[in-house]
Structure 1
Amino acid sequence: MNDEPRAVAERYARRAAEGVADRYSPLRPEVWQTLHERQRALLRGLAAQGFTDLSALRLAEVGCGSGGNLLELLRLGFAPQHLTGLELLPERHAQARHVLPAATTLWLGDATAAPASVVAPGSQQLVLQSTVFSSLLDDAFQQRLADAMWSWLAPGGAVLWYDFTVDNPRNPDVRGVPLARVRQLFPQARVQATRVTLAPPLARVVCRWHPALYRVFNSVPLLRTHVLAWLHKG
């Protein structure tokens, strides 16, 4: 049996040894502009869904990493006791536990095996994944994770999806997840999607010329490689 969680851990360890993490430092101009663009799109989406009290929303994040997205949600007004993070890698889980409030639930392990005491079926208004599925190379495991996420949603809730859609020929440890694949993973979802994020290799080049060029190039939709999607349940 293919052990995809173990394979994911090995891929991340290999990338860490290669020093890839520096590419994602928020001190880099292309990174902070990507983060700001995604945050604006998220806020527009929350407003469009009619959410007025973010502190009342229950949200679980698959692959919460060191807690960056959950910290961002706290700043936006989500309540710590209504946030849950699930993380496969022990070192990232430990970092998240260090920076997040004690009231925020964190679980270490394969999200598909998370017990109901951590995330109960039908308990969440939102389930977030950010560049997790592009790191999963096993189709069957992708589907198991999608099914688990869908089961956690309450009727009227939504999976909040952010991931890239095209392959990176320089990185065999990831693969793009086209919108057609997203629809296949969540066949019952009503999908609203928008393209965001200037292609990172291009963003790194243009920001070396001048950070302001990020917005110029990102104004061309065909140069955006990621999708921010709301996958509605019911």
Structure 2
Amino acid sequence: MADQSILQPGNLLMVQERERYLAGLFRRVGWHSLAHLRAFEAGCSTGYNLRMLVQWGARPEHLAGQDLDGEAVRYFRSRSPEIRVHEGSAERVPEPDQAFDLSLAFTLFSSVPDEDVAQRIAAEVVRVTRPGGLILVYDMRRRNPRNPKVHPVSAEDVRRWFPRCPMRVKTLTLAPPIARAIGRFAPWLYGPLAAVPLLRTHALYVLRRPGALTPFPSISGSEDQGP
């Protein structure tokens, strides 16, 4: 859809905010180079996030994704043939146990209405992540009145799906209708408005799979105070 294009100035502002935060998070966990990073994304869609990691230095052959939408998977393969991408539900991921340092699930769980399916996806994400590895869940925390097919994801939901994983929460993303409006006319307003907690519509849940002694990364500006 045209209003989802990154060429739309408001969408670009939202993505840039999220990517700045991710870059800072990676530095805080000691990932100053991504050359050896192994990463997986559940619900990878057309592959934007995994291609971003390649741009940041990750090797394509160290990355993998999975999506239920066959058309999105075909698009992904046509643009990024070096990255493994599987078609099908992330309830069953055809990747080995503990294969990845980083696992992503961005705007995935808000599209999963069935609790049992969400539990199985979470279990697979944990399975393929190495002990001490990071799991990043980015999703909407407010209901979208324009799209009744999706639902908010709360910190309580994420804790229930990943019960043994220590967690921190960072709220992000200026409400998209506001971001798109100011993106056209006053992009300099994005930062000040996004600093208002009530105007942030999404959250990034940073989890660590148990099993390593690596300290949990600090998260500045978090609204959530602990696991």
- Residue 114 of structure 1 pairs with residue 67 of structure 2: no
Partner of 1:48: 28
Residue identity in the other structure for 2:88: G
- For residues 209 and 40 of structure 1, the distance between their equivalents in structure 2, rounded to whole angstroms, comes to 22
Matching of residue 197 in structure 1 with residue 173 in structure 2: yes
The structural deviation recorded for 1:49 is 0.9
Q: Which one of the candidate residues 86, 94, 105 is aligned to 2:84?
A: 105
Q: Is the 8 A contact 2:102 2:133 kept in 1?
A: yes
Alignment of 1:1-234 (within 5 A): 21-102=1-82, 104-115=83-94, 119-234=95-210
SS of the residue 2:91 aligns to = helix
TM-fit CA distance, 1:208: 4.2
Unpaired stretches in structure 1, ≥5 consecutive residues = 1-20
TM-score when scaled to structure 2?
0.88
Which one scores higher on RCO, CA 8 angstroms, separation ≥ 6?
A: 2
Q: Which amino acid aligns with 2:66?
A: L
Inter-partner Cα distance in structure 2 for 1:141 and 1:109: 13
Q: Output the CA distance in 2 between the equivalents of 1:62 and 1:73.
A: 15
| TM-score (norm. length: structure 1) | 0.86
Q: Distance in 2 between matches of 1:43 and 1:207?
A: 22
Amino acid at match of 1:108: E
In 1, the alpha carbon distance for the partners of 2:113 and 2:205 equals: 21
Give the aligned length: 210
Q: Which has the larger helix fraction?
A: 1
Aligned partner of residue 212 in structure 1, secondary structure: helix
Give the SS at the match of 1:127.
strand
Per-residue CA distance 1:87-117 (angstroms, 9 max, x = gap): 1111110110011142x211111121223xx
Matched residue type, 2:131: P
Structure 2 gap ranges (5+): 211-227
Task: Read off the aligned partner of 2:92 and give its amino acid letter.
Answer: A
Q: Which residue of 2 aligns with 1:18?
A: none
CA RMSD, 1 decimal: 1.3
2:100 maps to amino acid: Q
SS for the counterpart of 2:203 is strand
CA deviation map 1:157-188 (0-9, x unaligned):
11111111111122110001011211111110
